[in-house]
Amino acid sequence: MTLSGKRILLIISGGIAAYKSLDLIRRLRERGATVRPVMTAGAQQFVTPLAVGALAASRVYTELFSREDEQDVGHIRLARECDLVVVAPATADLMAKMANGHADDLASTVLLATDRTVLAAPAMNPKMWTHPATRRNRATLAADGIRFVGPASGEMAERGEAGEGRMAEPLEIVAAIEGLLAGAKPLAGRKAIVTSGPTHEPIDPVRYIANRSSGKQGHAIAAALARLGADVTLVCGPVAIPDPAGVQLVRVERAAEMRDAVVAALPADVAVMVAAVADWRVASAAGNKIKKRPGEAPPPLQLAENPDILKTIGHHASRPKLVIGFAAETENVAENGRAKLERKGADYIVANDVSPATGIMGGDRNRVKLIARDGIEEWPEMGKDDVADKLAALIAAKLLS
């Protein structure tokens, strides 16, 4: 009962995704929340107040100028007598009203009058979501403190339409709600393993084989999971960034050390293998610094393959319920990521293009494709902290399902 005693004001606006609000209400009540629904006129064209009220076990509010409700300024009570306001779905029209301070119906008036945190789950056609007006409204709302979950990418209700604009699934919204409400930790009692950073494979005591991974994305994911209440073990290669709060840190240098530390941290509920592990190591590292000698050719380096940590975990006898790998590619991102998914035994692969021109490796922003066996979801470019929060919400939703 992770939301026991919490009061959720759910505003349902008029889009085809309104049908998902019925499942959202059920999921919230399963977790002990009280749900008070507000429906726009458009929402009532897709789902009925009777169905919403039956699932919520509550009166459904639809009219701003209700003689009964407004005798004691009912819209102000609705706006204040809750712990969180959730807008699901949040249509382009309602987002425009919110961004510009309109108050011409009960939903928009409540949103203007509330002093509570507002969580919006956008849902609309991909062209509407990417329209400059919607992007401006979204940016305005974010600057005003409105929180967002989704939208996701996928098939639309309109035949032949696909792209970003699908409302987040109810369990993803529940996870976001639990993360926002004080004391609500959807991953409490769950154990997570995250790897981060590069590995350094010694050539001699001075030199090593490595890559340009900064560890920023892995550290952000570990922190996001910890904020949702998970017991996080972060196995980290050599990095020069601050340690994330609330995690158990295990520092390693070589790939073999990282594998051993990850296996030692099992069992776990989820493993997120973000580290850019070196594929090869020097078969026999020199005990002393290799000296450059005049007239002599450079010494040959015989390479050996490093252990495959993701594959080891994906096929382990104590395999976590959820295994997520990362694929840093410079070409054929989706194809290589899909092949890696099958080869490694993962549930998801988070693939990205780390070509030098993208600035992703070592940078603060990321653009990823979430690859599953049933399809690929392309996420827009965002900060690595935002990628981490979005992935953590997905993990919470999957573990709660």
Query: At what angle are helices 106-113 and 92-100 packed, to 10 degrees?
Result: 40
365 burial via Cβ count (<10 Å: 0-12, 13-18, 19+): middle
Asked whether residue 310 is marked as a ligand-binding residue, the answer is yes
Q: Which amino acid is at 211?
A: N
Residues 38, 9 contacting (CB under 8 angstroms) = yes
Q: Does 353 count as an annotated binding residue?
A: no
Give first-to-last CA distance, the chain, whole Å.
14
289 in a labelled binding site: yes
Q: Is 65 marked as a binding-site residue?
A: no
- The two structure tokens encoding residue 324: 């997520």
CA 344, CA 321: separation in Å to the nearest integer? 15
Judge whether 231 is annotated as a binding position.
no
- For the question of residue 211 being annotated catalytic, the response is yes
Check the annotation: does 10 bind a ligand: no
Element (H, E) at 129: helix 126-130
Identity at 356, one-letter amino acid code:
P
Q: Is 356 annotated as a binding residue?
A: no
Q: Two tokens at 299?
A: 């010494």
Of the listed 211, 332, 336, 352, which one is catalytic?
A: 211
Q: Is 340 annotated as a binding residue?
A: yes
- Residue 93 annotated as lining a ligand binding site: no
Alpha-carbon span 108 to 118, nearest angstrom: 12
Residues 6+ apart with CB under 8 A from 166: 17, 123, 150, 151, 152, 153, 154, 155, 156
- Bridge pairing between strands 231-236 and 248-251: parallel
Are residues 30 and 106 in contact, defined by beta-carbon separation less than 8 angstroms?
A: no
Q: What is the pairing mode between strands 7-12 and 208-209? A: unpaired
Residues contributing to the annotated binding site for CTP: 279, 289, 307-310, 326, 340, 344
Catalytic residue numbers read 211
Residues contributing to the annotated binding site: 279, 289, 307-310, 326, 340, 344
